[in-house]
Structure 1
Amino acid sequence: MKYDYIIGGAGLSGLTLAWQMAKHNILDDKQLLIIDADKKEANDRTWCFWAKPEMWITELPIKQSWNKAQVKGSDFDLVQDLAPYRYYKIEGIDYYNFIKNELNNYSQITFIQDHIISEDANEKSVTTSESTYHFKDYFFKSYFYPDELNSVQNPKQHFIWQHFYGWKIKTKEIAFDPKVITYMDMNVAEEIKGLSFAYILPDSQYEAMVEYTLFSAQLWSEEDYKNALIDYIQNNLGIKEYEIEEIEFNKIPMTNASFSQRSKSIVPIGTLAGTVKPSTGYSFVRNYQHIQQIIKNIKSNKDDFAINSSVKFKFYDEVLINVLHTSKSSGHQVFGNLYKKNKLPQLLKFLNEETNLLEDLRIMNTVPKWPFIKAVAEELVK
């Protein structure tokens, strides 16, 4: 059977695209195939993001949200209100089940559990370990092969990872404030050529996800992550007795480079499309925005699906990654200055790419000057 559309990967971007295609009546006379090797029956990840409480967010299976956040460093400890934003958490399993339930009534959608081996733009085909499937219009691809990742790891482009290891722990005594997330605690060992910090999402006074996070080119061994996390829990938080309920261990590419779209019929989505913001590693909102762009262009019979990127903010990201990647300034100093000299809502507005030039300049005036001037000069001559 030939399908009109195939989606490779039933993760955040793939499932969101299928949901929005159905919701906007794109599938009324079309057939969609979704292929993934996993059934998506486990709670294998958590998505967090900040946003204004708009209509599209109220549709989502939000597990929890907060309006206050703490940022800490060696010489500051601040708790601030995030208004007009809130910080949201969605559990992976809740999102998978939500989308599956939304799609249950659409007979034109087929799910197949299989490993994708290759795709062919000329033949408009996708080959799995069990079969070959053909598509008429587009193959939306959310996974990438090693050679595609290697293509953006070159000396002219900055490439670092956001990599993290976390435990959801349950304590015997009160240990957390459930009304406040710890967005960034930099009272941890400094990471050379990058940034290191702890991150806490509290569910109650006794339960929280505690993560040790790094922005760097060099990945750690699992044992090193564990040791750093244990040290933080015991020595920074003062928690000696706890149970480990869940584990999170992941890495996200943070780069100013772009994965190439290899043909007009094979459309990258998700991380492959550049939805991960290079300077933060966050992608949920940008993924949703890209999906809306895809939906709009399909309905308008346009085949331009490249993510809309602000040239200005892309350049800002390039400069910041340059500073961290080349160790022009320590990550703790850069982010410490940002938090001490700016209100969190204004920083979130900037990171959401919603600020004007005057607001941008005010924020830029709070980072170490010479490291950023040097980075700007280097990026301009590329």
Structure 2
Amino acid sequence: MNDGVPVDVDVALVGGGGAASLVLAALDRHGLAGLRVAVVDPVRRRGQDRTWAFWGRPGGELDGVLSASWGHVEVVTPARRRVLDLAPLRYAMVRSAPVYARAAEAERRLGAVRFDAAVAGLDDDGTRVVVRGGDGAPLVRASWVLDSRPRPPARPGRTSWLQHFRGWWVASEVALFDPRRAVLMDFRTPQPGRGVSFGYVLPVSDRFALVEYTEFSPARLTGDGYDRALRGYLGRLGWDPAALVVREVEDGVIPMTDAPFPRRPSPRVVRLGTAGGATRPSTGFTFSAMLRQAEQVAAALAGGRAPVPAPAYPRRHLWMDAVALRALDTGRVGGPEFFDRLFDRNPASRVLRFLDGDTGVVEDLAVMRSSPLAPMTSAVLGDAVGRLWGRLRRPG
């Protein structure tokens, strides 16, 4: 308790999930022990409540906490199976428990102040921010607030889809999985009328793996719908669901939209994670951008600069994502066809770096040329008309 007198700090982290956990670890790694830090979140995150998968070069700061990594992945369509060599990258998986544990240790080493409370408001006067608890009482007064709570976009987008999924951590009594490679996208799932679906398999060993069913579409399924889809996918792989033990279940939903997510809603409040634009609109991938945001925030504070990370993705990539979403949403392009051509006509490393926002203009043009030209051109024109109409309707 603080008896109504806010605690003065340099940085307050509002929200304690994945984005905040990565920031805490980065602050500790940069040796910012003298920084006054507060964490405000009603939940103390621990245990296995989610799994993140991402690609990058070996030797990163997360190598010590990875559950598994793969140098090869499969992309499967009804017509063919591709095994992609990701070199010099690799696909990696990290579970939440070691990320949260590492953040808790960083919090201790930094001497951070913890408030197990919801936040009702952030009062930013341009020089300091007062963080108010659920009852309106001031908890913290900070020079900067890093807010990673989920939030809706500033205004609706022209396309608003979701990446939604259910995963089963399954165990087998016999060797069943190939731990040398992951299944990144398997489009041999029944495709929704509006959207795209796929399965994937992330094996930790030959007897334990995460098997997941994912959709990119406007609306979620029921719980039974996800379970039916997972059983069907396991059957498609030739595995008897009754012979597998489901150890854990993971559900998730991530926005896929061209709607704007302001990174800096007021002078000294900075948003991180999905609320800060870390989610790639065309895929829902988020984790790599959160890693970059955390490193940029810590490096800025270590250098005495404002902890404002760069935009997660170049503007041209966001425009390309808006066009792709429009093409998929209107049915001009089929999801399996789109991704099949993307991986067929580009090196795997280029596709993955593009999805991370790490390609230059020349490579971006190569990615654009690999898409179905006529329907994408129609989507470009539709996007341009939509943007113009949106500007004309917007007040002021």
Normalization by structure 2: what TM-score? 0.88
- 1:245 maps to what in 2? 247
Deviation of 1:211 after TM superposition, in Å, equals 0.4
CA distance in 1, matches of 2:179, 2:60: 25
Distance 1:345 1:127, change over 3 A: same
Q: Which runs of 5+ in 1 are unaligned?
A: none
**1:291 and 2:297 aligned:** no
Distance 1:303 1:99, change over 3 A: closer
* 8 Å contact from structure 2 (residues 161, 255) kept in 1: yes
* 8 Å contact from structure 2 (residues 22, 99) kept in 1: no
| One-letter code aligned to 1:10 | G
| One-letter code aligned to 1:207 | F
Q: Work out which of the residue numbers 12, 36, 43 in structure 2 matches 1:31.
A: 36
Q: Work out which of the residue numbers 85, 88, 93 in structure 2 matches 1:89.
A: 93
Deviation of 1:372 after TM superposition, in Å, equals 0.7
- 1:128 maps to what in 2? 133
Aligned residues: 374
Distance 1:306 1:76, change over 3 A: same
Deviation of 1:74 after TM superposition, in Å, equals 0.8
- Which deviates further from its counterpart, 9-18 or 44-53? 9-18
SS in 2 for 1:323: helix
- Which deviates further from its counterpart, 119-128 or 309-318? 119-128
SS in 2 for 1:279: coil
Write the deviation string for residues 51-80 of structure 1: whole angstroms up to 9, x where unpaired: 01244344x511211111011001011112
CA distance in 2, matches of 1:106, 1:85: 33
* 8 Å contact from structure 1 (residues 13, 142) kept in 2: yes
* 8 Å contact from structure 1 (residues 192, 327) kept in 2: no
CA distance in 2, matches of 1:129, 1:354: 40
CA distance in 1, matches of 2:326, 2:80: 26
CA distance in 2, matches of 1:247, 1:220: 15
- CA RMSD of superposed structures (Å): 2.1
| One-letter code aligned to 1:142 | S
SS in 2 for 1:363: helix
Deviation of 1:138 after TM superposition, in Å, equals 1.2
- 1:377 maps to what in 2? 381
CA distance in 2, matches of 1:332, 1:17: 36
Write the deviation string for residues 163-193 of structure 1: whole angstroms up to 9, x where unpaired: 0001011123332111110000000111233
- Which deviates further from its counterpart, 2-11 or 64-73? 2-11
* 8 Å contact from structure 2 (residues 55, 89) kept in 1: yes
| One-letter code aligned to 1:63 | S
Deviation of 1:134 after TM superposition, in Å, equals 2.7
CA distance in 1, matches of 2:309, 2:33: 18
Distance 1:138 1:339, change over 3 A: same
* 8 Å contact from structure 1 (residues 318, 379) kept in 2: yes
* 8 Å contact from structure 2 (residues 313, 356) kept in 1: no
* 8 Å contact from structure 1 (residues 159, 255) kept in 2: yes
Distance 1:2 1:358, change over 3 A: closer
**1:207 and 2:213 aligned:** no
Write the deviation string for residues 137-163 of structure 1: whole angstroms up to 9, x where unpaired: 111111134xx34x4324xx3221110
**1:174 and 2:180 aligned:** no
**1:118 and 2:124 aligned:** no
Distance 1:32 1:355, change over 3 A: closer
Normalization by structure 1: what TM-score? 0.91
CA distance in 1, matches of 2:59, 2:172: 35
CA distance in 1, matches of 2:200, 2:216: 13
Write the deviation string for residues 202-249 of structure 1: whole angstroms up to 9, x where unpaired: 112222110000111111111111111111112433324111001110
Distance 1:290 1:369, change over 3 A: same
